[in-house]
Structure 1
Amino acid sequence: MKIKPINKKLKLYGFNNLTKTLSFNFYDICYALTPEQRQEYIEYIDEEYNADRLVHILNTVAKIIGANVLNIANQDYEPQGASVTMLVAENQVICDDSIKIYDNESPGPASEAIVGHLDKSHITVHTYPESHPDRGISTFRADIDVSTCGEISPLKTLNYLITSFEPDIAIIDYRVRGFTRDVNGKKYFLDHKINSIQNFMTGKTRQMYQMIDVNVYQENIFHTKMILKEFDLDHYLFGVAKKDLQSLEKKKIKQRIKKEMLEIYYGRNIAKFKG
């Protein structure tokens, strides 16, 4: 059953200047047997997520949050990596100095636009492809920040970004800063209900990933980590198939990949791992 939002409208003194920031770290993990294959993986990732592709992704994010793009700065780097910074402003402002307080948590759209009120907000993405010199492991990390001011929340971009990058691991932070004030002088430090970032994901996404929340509700700080539940070795191999490997080799490669993933997920090195 769809939960209807509480249509509670508050008269504000001035503009809704709450700042809401959604930050992602997306990781893709790969195993390549030879130095040549590792280099091919880096080149593949560098091309797949070059500056032009990232600009396209961020343009769609801007549409989802109802923002006009004011300026785009993008750069591909040598030997690898790319960055895009986008400055956005409010779309069509139909503002009567009031806000609606919503009492529901739901996933955002995949790509359709939502009109919101934003002012001098920004969206950024930076990519970091890298590989281990002798263990066969290569990783791709994308850091994304979506920061908005006003009524719309960047949480509505969550579904689109997850499906665009299809990460093996994601580390997600959401923070609301500042306050807005009603005409009677009462401050509002949050203008929408949130118990967990997970509630803004689809059921399909929640089924695919193991998740951990670390939330500080009194500070309006929310943190979610997610890692794929299912492990299929072919998903992580580059330039070779599982069927072409010997049993012992498959076991060692699987251990290396799982160790790498768990170290990233938990944010610490694991001295000994048997998996």
Structure 2
Amino acid sequence: MKNKIKLYGFNNLTKTLSFNIYDVCYAKGEKEQKEYVDYIDEQYNSERLTNILCEVTNIIGAHVLNISKQDYDPQGASVTILISEDSIDEKILDNSCNGGKHILKPKTVLAHLDKSHVTVHTYPEYHPYNSIATFRVDIDVSTCGKVSPLNALDYLIGSFDSDIIAIDYRVRGFTRDVNGKKCFIDHEIRSIQDYIDEETLKKYDAMDMNVYQTNLFHTKMLIKDINLQNYLFKMDTNEFLPQERLSISNNLRKEMIEIFNGLNIYDK
């Protein structure tokens, strides 16, 4: 194993992990589609998202400084958490994060502590014609110092029904070693997939697009198998004839492929 780089002073590298996670569902009619959006809106409200992000902060070994959260009308939610690599004096903490995890009182937040953050935004919607509904979650984990957002990959994927996943990881800026030499990355990385559990990867088709010269890494993942029952909202597969089940499965797969490729492949 390669020895760690001994740095001079604070690690000034910024490491950012960006997620787009999509959940696809079949909601038969207009009533069911609206109920699906309401269901998602309730399931992933700002309170639950806050708990997820607090756990992410815990996994990567950072400390919560401040939380801002908002639910929207008619739907959607956003949460932003400022985090710090360094531990915080117990005297200036209260216990309002995730039922007991620490959060810094707002009056003690200093400008030099807001360089690291975790954010999440949700976007539920549905197709006007083919009864396909989608739920998108955008997550950004940006850190400076020694903490790495890559450690939270499996937890984030498992926290949502992830049919399509797009992940970006980038390292920006530079820091210096004890001899004054610039370091533009402080860890080895070949692919984002190396940081995802093998059992998780087996469920997806995955592809990479990396630019090693600029420390920019991108991975896209598409779920391999569709168990139709898991994609029906408030319905059972027995309610449909075999041909209908096949048509619904095909529409679900088409929606996933278009999102995965970022193209309207099946539009006539």
Q: Same fold (TM over 0.5)?
A: yes
| SS of 1:172 mapped into structure 2 | strand
CA distance in 2, matches of 1:75, 1:119: 19
Who is 1:130 aligned against?
A: 125
Who is 2:3 aligned against?
A: 7
CA distance in 2, matches of 1:134, 1:249: 15
CA distance in 2, matches of 1:230, 1:71: 40
Q: Aligned-pair distance for 1:242?
A: 1.3
Q: Aligned-pair distance for 1:272?
A: 6.1
Question: Which 4+ residue blocks in structure 1 deviate beyond 3 angstroms?
Answer: none
Who is 1:87 aligned against?
A: 82
* Contact in 1 for aligned 2:40/2:124 (Cα 8 Å): yes
User: Unpaired segments of 5 or more residues in structure 2?
Assistant: 89-100, 102-112
Listed as ranges, the matches of 1:1-275 within 5 Å are: 5-10=1-6, 12-92=7-87, 120-271=115-266
More displaced stretch, 62-71 vs 185-194: 62-71
| SS of 2:10 mapped into structure 1 | coil
Q: Aligned-pair distance for 1:40?
A: 1.3
Who is 1:108 aligned against?
A: none
CA distance in 1, matches of 2:267, 2:173: 44
Q: Aligned-pair distance for 1:8?
A: 3.4
* Contact in 2 for aligned 1:66/1:91 (Cα 8 Å): no
Q: Aligned-pair distance for 1:65?
A: 1.7
Render the CA deviation track for 1:158-182: whole Å, top value 9, x for unaligned. 0110111130110000000001112
Question: How many residue pairs get matched?
Answer: 245
User: Unpaired segments of 5 or more residues in structure 1?
Assistant: 94-112
When normalised by structure 1's length, the TM-score is 0.85
* Contact in 2 for aligned 1:80/1:129 (Cα 8 Å): yes
| SS of 1:83 mapped into structure 2 | strand
| SS of 2:170 mapped into structure 1 | strand
When normalised by structure 2's length, the TM-score is 0.87
* Contact in 2 for aligned 1:25/1:172 (Cα 8 Å): yes
More displaced stretch, 159-168 vs 248-257: 248-257
Q: Aligned-pair distance for 1:134?
A: 2.2
* Contact in 2 for aligned 1:22/1:145 (Cα 8 Å): yes
Q: Aligned-pair distance for 1:240?
A: 1.2
CA distance in 1, matches of 2:45, 2:254: 28
Q: Aligned-pair distance for 1:155?
A: 0.3
* Contact in 2 for aligned 1:233/1:254 (Cα 8 Å): yes
CA distance in 2, matches of 1:55, 1:123: 10
Call closer, same or farther: CA 1:57–1:162 in 2, change over 3 Å: same
Task: Provide the alpha-carbon RMSD of the alignment.
Answer: 1.7
CA distance in 1, matches of 2:267, 2:141: 37
Who is 1:99 aligned against?
A: none
Q: Aligned-pair distance for 1:124?
A: 0.2
